[in-house]
Each structure stands twice: as structure tokens, then as C-alpha cells.
Amino acid sequence: MKLVVFIVVFSKVCTVYGITVEDYKNLQKHLMTNYSNKVRPVKNQDHAVQVTASFHLSDINDVDAVQQQLVTTAYLSILWIDELLVWDQEITNIDRLYFKQKDIWTPDIVLKNGVKKFEELGGEVYYLEVFPNGEVHWMPYQVFESKCDMDITYFPFDTQVCDITFISWSFFKLEVNMMLPESGPPVYFYDFNENSVWGIESTGGRRSQSHIADSTVTFTLHLRRKPLYYVMNLILPVVLLGVISLLVFVIPADAGEKMSFAVTVFLSFAVFLSIISMQLPVNSENTSLLGVYLVFQMSIAVAIIIISAFQLRLHHRCEERKVGTFYRGIVNIERCLRCVKSCSDNNSKKKYNWRNDSYEPKVDYDDVSWKDVSSAIDFVCFWTMLFFGIIATTVLVVYMNNGIS
């Protein structure tokens, strides 16, 4: 009754010239009279407050694989009907009112999967827009630090699915019912700058389904890492190092640089590792393929150093010692393979053998010197390691591709 009386009185004043400040103040004061911001604003308290929320992404600040966090800047657009803030627009001519956030009831929405203490959304600076039918608009702009379970297996070609979940912490679903907007997508972009490392593939949203449970809405971001930087600064150097470490077998033992070359390559591995280890997340759960590849390459490099050292010892072995059958086998394998590969070489060798033949037909046995063994090891190991390296890189590429698609 009081409301009607008020409005009648009110409307008379209004019509004089537009809407005056006094009109606003009076309407505000009228609505605030007897209003409590601690009670859900539904006249029948058995009903739930229907709260609609959408997510307006403004910036991806950080995707932290080590802390498993996603940090976003965004504002939530939250709407609900406050049944206690209703007025007749036609009589008052006022189509909108603004209230300070702390003056009216707001749902206690918080970031459910955050890593910080719960903080109230919004703050002192916000005015909430209220329409004659009681609809309240609230648009708190915040930084959200949400947990995100990341799978770095396919790093740096990985895709991450991150949820940002909001919950009405104290109220049950029967009291405050969180919903996504009925039309339109749940996630919008607002003044969005593309992140320099992460692209957004798609977005989505969902709400908690059961009727009794907590009332939550979840916004989902499908993020894809842009691999260019990592390909250029991580993968390329490692592959190049892998190639270089094979060259140990190309350098002839006579050059006297085999070992120092091999160990300097290993040292370069160590230096690169110190760069890379700052960028790869500490994660014992799912090892990244790239990490496994790195360890594989390093093991190969160590194997190469070990082989080279023993090869060098053979190379400098006194010529008077007989070459064992195992080493002869290696030399034979090398000759055999070379034969297959380059027949011209083979011919010249045969000729050569033939020439030696003239002196001593059974010399085939004696013409294997320790130098030949060293050379054969070079040949065999180079191709073996090259083979393994190519296999490993191929496997890496294939798995990575699986990760992408």
C-alpha cells in the first residue's frame, strides 16, 4: 500500500521537469527502507534465486605448467531478479537505478577451483544496475587464478583443457541456482589480446546437474600452445646437437681431436640442458616426450664417447698384437656393407686384394690392422647411431602428431 501511495505522490513531482535528483534519491530511499542485504531477495523463501552468469575473457595472463595454474583476467556478467527492488517505471519515469555493491544482496559467488583464499567478487568501486522489474546486473572484473590439471606429455605441442568454476559457496542449489545464459555462448571475449604463446581453440560452459548438490557453473577453455618458439629454441638445438654428436665417428682417429670433440659436444648438452631445464616444468607424473628424447640423446652422446674411447685405444694398440676375431667381424661387416653401398669401391678393393693376392693368397687374414678396426668401428657406429637417431626422432614426431590431432 505504502508503495502505491508513495508513487502517486512521487509522480506528481516528476512530471515538472524530467527526473530530478530528488526523485532518484527518494526512490532509492524508499526501496532501501526495510531492505536487508542479508536475506535472499525472493518473496517466497522456498524459491531459489536464479543467477545467470557468463564469462567475458579479457586476457590470459599466465599458463603455469609448473604450478598447474591458469591465470585469467575477465569479468563475470551476473544477472538475477531482486524481488524486493521493484518499481513502476511508467509512474516514476525512472528506467534504471544504481546501487553500491555493499548496499544490496549479492550472491556469494567465489572461484571454486582457485589457489587463493576466497575473495568476494567486485568491490567498493562497483555500482550495480537495477531495472524496474528487479533485474540486477553485476559485472565484477577480476583476475582468476584457477587450478588446471595439465598434461605436458606432448609439450610443446600440447593442448590443455582448463576449467574455471564458480560456486555459490554457502547456499544450496535450492536456494541459489547458478545458470548459464539461455541464448548465446557462455564465454565471450572482451577487448581480448591474443596471448603470445597460447591460442584459444574453443570455449564451453556447463552447470552442475543434480538438484541437491552445490550450485556451480563451469567455464571451459581449450588452449593450444603455439609451438614455434619452442621448436626454434628447444627442439632445433637439441636435434642439431644430436647430429653433431654423430660426427665423432666421421672425424678420423689420426686427427687427434676425436675425444675432445666428443666431450665438448657432451658439455654443450649440459649447457643446453641448463637452458631447457628452466623452461620444462618439474613434473614426475607425466614426463614430456621431449624430456625423454633429450635423455635419449644424452645417453647416445655418452655411448658415443665410450665407444670412441675404446676405439682410440684399439687405434693406438701396438701393431704386433693380433686382431681378435670379434674385431675382424666388425671389419668384415663394414667391408660387406660398403660393398653393397658402393660397388666401385668394392671393385677397387677387390683389385687391391687381388694385387696383394699375388704375393700371398691367404693374406686376407693379415691385412686387418688395428687402424682398419678403428676405421670399421667408425663406419659401423656412424650408421648405427644415425639409424637410432632417425628412429627416435621419427617416433618423437609421430607421437607429437598424435598429441596434436
Residues of span 116-145 touching its own copies by CB under 8 A: 116-120, 123-129, 139-143
Report how many residues bind its own copies under the rule CB under 8 A: 133
Between 287 and 332, CB nearer to its own copies: 287
Where b means 16+ CB within 10 Å and e means fewer, 277-313 reads eeebeebeeeebbbbebbebbbebbeebbebbeebbe
Q: Are residues 68 and 148 in contact, defined by beta-carbon separation less than 8 angstroms?
A: yes
166 binds its own copies (CB under 8 A): no
Part in contact with its own copies (CB under 8 A); list of ranges 205-213, 229-237, 333-341, 360-368: 229-237
Nearer to its own copies, 118 or 387 (CB): 118
Q: Please state the closest distance from residue 45 (CB atom) to its own copies, in A.
A: 4
Q: Does residue 15 touch its own copies according to CB under 8 A?
A: no
Q: What is the DSSP letter of 157?
A: S
- Furthest CA-CA distance within the chain: 133
Q: How far is the CB of 147 from its own copies (least distance, A)?
A: 5
Q: State CA 183 to chain mean position distance.
A: 30
Long-range contacts of 288-296 (CB under 8 A, 24+ apart): 288/152, 288/153, 288/154, 288/155, 289/153, 289/154, 289/155, 289/396, 289/399, 289/400, 289/403, 290/155, 290/156, 290/234, 290/235, 290/238, 290/396, 293/238, 293/392, 293/393, 293/396, 294/238, 296/392
By CB under 8 A, the residues from 257 to 316 that bind its own copies are 257-261, 263-268, 270-275, 277, 281-287, 291-292, 295, 298-299, 302, 305-306, 309-310, 312-313, 315-316
Q: At closest approach, how far in Å is the CB of 4 from its own copies? A: 18
Judged by CB under 8 A, does residue 355 bind its own copies? no
Nearer to its own copies, 312 or 380 (CB): 312
**Residue span 182-221 as binding mask against its own copies, x where in contact by CB under 8 A, dash where not:** ---------x-xxxxx------------------------
